Amino acid sequence: MTTRELVGAPSFDPRTGLASATVPESTDAAVADAVRVAEGAAAAVAAASPAERRAWLRAVAEGLEAHRAELVDLADAETALGPERLDGELTRLQGQLAFYGDVAVEGSYLGVTIDGATTGTPRIVRVNRPLGPVAVFGASNFPFAFGVLGNDTASALASGCPVVVKAHPAHPRLSVRLAEVAREALRGAGAPDGTLGLVVGMEAGAALVGAPGIAAVGFTGSQAGGLALRRLANERETVIPVYAEMGTVNPVVVTPSAVAEPGAVDRIADGFARAFTLGMGQFCTKPGLLFAPAGSGLAAATARALEALAPDPVMLTRGIAQAVSDGLAALTAAGGRILHRREGTTAGWAAPTAVLEADVDELARGSRLLEECFGPVALVVEYGDEAELSGALSRLQGCLVASLFAAGGADPDAARILGWLTPLAGRVAVGDWPTGTATVWAQHHGGPWPATSRPAATSVGAGALGRFVRPVAYQSVPDAWIGPEADPANPWGLPRRVDGVLQPG
């Protein structure tokens, strides 16, 4: 028995900073048990057809609907993100669950490839197979969309892997309820026991990553957290992949032609202020650094826009609130000059809101100015010419999203600047702020190190399933021993490549 059996994970109200309840932390035995039942379910979850797994995911979405009011209230009590936003996010979560089920049924993720069907060479059938139980560490900032049942969990289940979630300390009660609601729905839909598990507590999370039965890890959160889990995974006897989406500073570039349009400066400044304070700035896709043409007045305009918006943030956790103040001090020490700063007034986890500016020369490699300040804080840097801009961009870390504001398709500089942004980012947007991440086939929510630990992987969109499978090549194996994927009659209507030729399903 370890000491953590004696304490619970407190559930805080960010608006007051007071704990209203605690949730029992998982013992070592409870973690081992969660992994054991997940391992026990793995073969059945893998053997279920994509259509069966889609039915499970749809049942979970329906189960959420039946508890909508309760779940939104609980989420708001633990996150202070507001009922309207959370209601919308719950609807988004339901859409995600349905989407990943549809992607599974479409079947491209299985990568079925058959050689030797007609060529007389040995028959080789390649099929992607589920890795096994996946540990999921959800994010604080999207309690539904990236929470217990979020993108990682839904894509892992869709790909045929049981999931054990580690409850987020920012919303432990919601995490427990989401798992209960989902497990009831899964049971009702015929999914095996052990398809979804939950553990609570930081030590439990570490034990989960170290458990031999866990085959992969999905994580969304801070760089410190993601890298710590990656280290744990690398120390295992059998090293497993850690898909950590850690976020960094997402840059925005405004071209000279873009600010030359009438009203553009105020419009861009207003959009920027709204984008970096959306959700109290607690987005991994928050635009944190805007490059403005020298003399454009965008920095001052952003300060005015922020002042007019007058946000009064309540942050998700005490730690995040403190990190905003600390981050502002560090940014100032690194050469940032505050253009506008407003203190938070809430009795709970208040944080300041601020926009800073800095000279482009200050953006040296390793400078704090190039690191994320998670919260409603952003930096504006003016560039004199393209050489200054490209030099500064070359010193940025990898990021999830980069945005470019240009004067339409005829902007003389835009394509060139886009070419400098692309190597930095998993997604590049033109004329859009980076904050929206649609759950679609073409989405890529990833980005070069250290934005993510596996830049080729995505945690949002159809590609997310590919993280939790590995190919197996079956050579001269009777089709019946492989399964419906290899059946020449193609009963699941899968897209397949046969003797090199791609055949849609």
Q: Which of 4, 54, 126, 173 is the binder for a copy of itself (CB under 8 A)?
A: 126
What residues pair up with 383 in beta bridges, in sequence order? 293
Q: Which of 311, 458, 459, 492 is the binder for a copy of itself (CB under 8 A)?
A: 458
Q: Which of 115, 245, 372, 388 is the binder for a copy of itself (CB under 8 A)?
A: 115
Q: Which is nearer to a copy of itself, 13 or 39 (CB)?
A: 39
Give the active site residue among 25, 245, 382, 388: 245
Q: Are 165 and 153 in contact (CB under 8 A)?
A: yes
DSSP state of 196: E
The reply to whether 501 sits near a copy of itself by the rule CB under 8 A is yes
How far apart CA 93 and CA 138 sit, in angstroms, is 13
Q: Which of 222, 353, 453, 459 is the binder for a copy of itself (CB under 8 A)?
A: 453
Q: How many residues make up the chain in this entry?
A: 505
How far apart CA 82 and CA 62 sit, in angstroms, is 22
Cα–Cα distances (Å) from 284 to 189, 242, 438, 451, in that order, read 34, 18, 14, 9
CB of 112 to a copy of itself, least distance (A): 9
Q: Which is nearer to a copy of itself, 71 or 246 (CB)?
A: 246
Q: Which is nearer to a copy of itself, 353 or 453 (CB)?
A: 453
3-state secondary structure of 64: helix
**H/E segment holding residue 189:** none
The reply to whether 51 sits near a copy of itself by the rule CB under 8 A is no
Known active-site residue 284: yes
Pair of tokens at residue 144: 């539904």
Q: Which of 202, 239, 347, 364 is the binder for a copy of itself (CB under 8 A)?
A: 239
The reply to whether 473 sits near a copy of itself by the rule CB under 8 A is yes
How far apart CA 80 and CA 312 sit, in angstroms, is 12
The reply to whether 113 sits near a copy of itself by the rule CB under 8 A is yes
How far apart CA 328 and CA 369 sit, in angstroms, is 10
The reply to whether 214 sits near a copy of itself by the rule CB under 8 A is no
Touching a copy of itself, residues 406-435 (CB under 8 A): 409, 414-415, 418, 422, 425-432
The reply to whether 162 sits near a copy of itself by the rule CB under 8 A is no
Known active-site residue 373: no
Q: Are 75 and 101 in contact (CB under 8 A)?
A: no
x/- mask, a copy of itself, residues 58-97, rule CB under 8 A, reads ----------------------------------------
How many other C-beta atoms can be found within 10 angstroms of the C-beta atom of residue 158?
Answer: 27
What residues pair up with 165 in beta bridges, in sequence order? 136, 198
Q: Are 211 and 180 in contact (CB under 8 A)?
A: no
Q: Which of 108, 220, 248, 459 is the binder for a copy of itself (CB under 8 A)?
A: 108
Q: Which is nearer to a copy of itself, 57 or 125 (CB)?
A: 125
Residue 80's region, left for phi above 0, alpha for psi from -120 to 50, else beta, is left
The reply to whether 470 sits near a copy of itself by the rule CB under 8 A is yes
Pair of tokens at residue 365: 């490699």
Point out which span in 123-131, 168-176, 291-299, 348-356 binds a copy of itself (CB under 8 A): 123-131
Touching a copy of itself, residues 298-317 (CB under 8 A): none
What is the DSSP code string of 292-334? EETTS-HHHHHHHHHHHH----B-SSHHHHHHHHHHHHHHHHT
**H/E segment holding residue 348:** none
Q: Total residues contacting a copy of itself (rule CB under 8 A)?
A: 70
Q: Which is nearer to a copy of itself, 297 or 455 (CB)?
A: 455
What residues pair up with 498 in beta bridges, in sequence order? 114, 501
Pair of tokens at residue 316: 């998700």
The reply to whether 212 sits near a copy of itself by the rule CB under 8 A is no
Q: Which of 446, 459, 485, 492 is the binder for a copy of itself (CB under 8 A)?
A: 446
Q: Which of 124, 206, 228, 338 is the binder for a copy of itself (CB under 8 A)?
A: 124
Cα–Cα distances (Å) from 48 to 12, 53, 54, 127, 162, in that order, read 39, 7, 10, 15, 12
Residues forming the site for a copy of itself (CB under 8 A): 106, 108, 113-116, 121-122, 124-126, 129, 234, 238-241, 398, 409, 414-415, 418, 422, 425-432, 438, 440-444, 446, 448-450, 453-456, 458, 462-463, 466, 469-478, 480-481, 495, 497, 499-505
Which positions are catalytic? 245, 284
